[in-house]
Structure 1
């Protein structure tokens, strides 16, 4: 398993869904994960360190996870099936199936690690170099030209 850092949320265009970018720790590849607008807002607010006046859904989830497993847990982006990423909240010996966006929103609030199998990154990771404007533009062009169906598993 390799660690993943949340780079942020990107909008390719107003009519397309937001893209969550997860970059391999110490590397230059990203997993682009298409997510819903509500989840994107929850992740963005966690990245900005915003605290709502009243707990939102992901804040409630985080509070419950702390009650269930005070010693912490982790998020595992486990694979991709038919263009849809699969994820799990790992609480010690207990593993809970969940959407990657919900897992990441909770992990950011709890400061839990996010990981994925190296094979997944090898399969669908996109190479991106920090600080190289032409490569960043190439990645943006890549995002403009693909959709979630392009990441379907070729070996079901």
Structure 2
């Protein structure tokens, strides 16, 4: 298991799917998990610190856990089968509960609990993070290399 950061919720333009992105910063890979609009809203609202007038389902679950003295120690994304991600809630005391990945992530955001993902899932489903600024710098450097000649380096600087 590797720790991942919840980057946020995004809507993919090409197919209008909503995904939550989990970042494995050590590998510079993001795992996109397709989620529904309600779960996307629950995650985004919690990340933004927005409260609703009445508790949403994930708020209620957080409050129930607190009321019975149980903590969410961590969320683990444990399997990927047929495009479906499976998660487990790991509770204080050692109990493990099967969960949809989107619900587990929404609860983790509300409790401040860490999210871990199977290294195999990161390797299989992770996509490389490309920084736009890094890409532009790399393109400038490539253009420079395409047009540079050995003579450009002869003589004092600035000539």
| Fold shared, TM-score > 0.5 on shorter chain | yes
Larger Rg: 2
SS at match of 1:47: helix
Residue equivalent to 1:121: 122
Contact persistence 1:69–1:91 (CA under 8 A): no
Residue equivalent to 2:78: 78
Q: Please list the CA deviations of residues 20-51 of structure 1 after superposition, one character each: whole Å capped at 9, or x if unmatched.
A: 10001444101100000000000000010001
Residue equivalent to 1:9: 9
Residue equivalent to 1:153: none
Report deviation, 1:130. Answer: 3.8
Report deviation, 1:14. Answer: 8.8
Report deviation, 1:134. Answer: 4.7
Is 1:53 aligned to residue 40 of structure 2? Answer: no
Runs of 4+ in 1 over 2 A off after TM superposition: 13-17, 65-72, 129-135
Q: Please list the CA deviations of residues 54-111 of structure 1 after superposition, one character each: whole Å capped at 9, or x if unmatched.
A: 1111100111222345444110000100110111111132111111110000000000
**Equivalent residues in 2 for 1:99-138 (5 A)?**
99-132=100-133, 134=135
Report deviation, 1:10. Answer: 0.7
Residue equivalent to 1:97: 98
Number of residue equivalences: 135
Q: What CA distance in whole angstroms lies between the structure 1 residues aligned with 2:110 and 2:18?
A: 20
Q: What CA distance in whole angstroms lies between the structure 1 residues aligned with 2:25 and 2:69?
A: 25
Aligned-pair RMSD on alpha carbons?
2.0
Gaps of 5+ in 2: 137-159
- TM-score (norm. length: structure 2): 0.77
Residue equivalent to 1:144: none
- TM-score (norm. length: structure 1): 0.78
Contact persistence 1:2–1:25 (CA under 8 A): no
Gaps of 5+ in 1: 136-156
